[in-house]
Amino acid sequence: MVEHDIWTVKAALDWTVGYLGRKGDENPRLSAEWLLGEACGLRRIELYTGLERPLSLKERDTLRGYVSRRGRGEPLQYITGEVAFRHVAVKVRPGVLIPRPETEVLVSEALSLLPAVGRPRALDSRMTEAEAEELLAARAAQDAAEADRPAAEPSAAFSDVPGPRASSASSDDSGPVAAPLFVADLCTGSGCIACSIAYEHPRTRVIATDIAPEAVALARENVDALGLSDRVRVVQCDLGQGVPASAMGRLDLVVSNPPYVPTSVLSDIPREVADFEPALALDGGADGLDVLRRLLPWCARALKPGGAFAFELHEGHLDEAAALARAAGFADVRVARDLAGRPRVLTGRRASVQAIVA
């Protein structure tokens, strides 16, 4: 297209599809829709219902920049700077692993290991003004009541993670006064796991760790942007080294998406992953289980009796991983499959007090 041409949505879409196809994009139409929609602030359906809509000069310049980056193989998520993950949207940028659908399965498995809780009713655009005001007033009253209750044990576990205090007197897991649940998310990356668990399970208090400063900075941004800073704390450290000593033996859940790609497999991963995503977050050693071998003994010390873990791992080594977990003394060890039907998530529990005594 020459400079004086009018760029309609259709013309821009056709040009982008052709250009990316020539550059080797595996799905040029999907990429084109994503980039054009982002450049113009349009949803996919709006692209096709407004094919004759002209692009502004600013939109054209933005699209050119996006397409140039995509033509060099840069992942779409880094270009747009955001990705949907379960019920939230998180920021992403180069230097930090992009959240993937498989990891949504990891969060599902992790949440299933915690006592169930219903999410508080959310504000909805279909509510009347009176209904919205009633909901906000009820939330404010509940927050005020919780603030007056004594702190729950083990409050010392994450004493530097502020948050609503809850009473330990209630045994009702689904009630608003039930004690908090303490979770460690190791190798947090963008923070998508920690944020999702805190968002979907209001009783959780999460400490998220990562060794990479780029990941720690991004995870903190996502925690703040999602309004979860009262229940999620992000620290820079190697695996669980930054978890407070007072938390050891008291955690309800440890979850991790560690580096797990076997070294020999790294040469076969897609170019846009190998060239743009951090190798530190991918390489799991010869069999992909190097980090798991460090996680299991740490979990044995950090989890309370009956506490659980959930780890995302490479599909080719889940049987070996399960054997390692059983050998380390964990109970209820099982393997869950991802959305493509491949073995992907390892879960297990620290033996209960009764089992240890027996």
Contact 181/196 with Cβ under 8 angstroms? no
The Cα 133–Cα 139 span in angstroms is 10
* Burial track 136-151 (b if 16+ CB lie within 10 A, e otherwise): eeeeeeeeeeeeebee
Indicate the SS3 state at residue 106: helix
Query: Which segments are annotated as binding site for S-adenosyl-L-methionine?
Result: 210, 257
Count other Cβ atoms within 10 Å, centred on residue 218. Answer: 23
Indicate the SS3 state at residue 53: coil
Cα 131 to its chain centre, rounded Å, is 32
Query: Which segments are annotated as binding site?
Result: 210, 257-260
The Cα 65–Cα 69 span in angstroms is 6
Contact 314/286 with Cβ under 8 angstroms? no
Contacts of 112 (CB under 8 A, 6+ apart): none
- Judging by DSSP bridges, how do beta strands 232-236 and 88-91 pair with one another? unpaired
Contact 202/143 with Cβ under 8 angstroms? no
Instruction: For 231, list phi and psi in degrees, rounded to 5.
Output: -130, -5
Query: Which segments are annotated as binding site for substrate?
Result: 257-260
- N- to C-terminal Cα distance for the chain? 77
How open is the CA angle 208-214-219, to the nearest 5 degrees?
35
Indicate the SS3 state at residue 89: strand
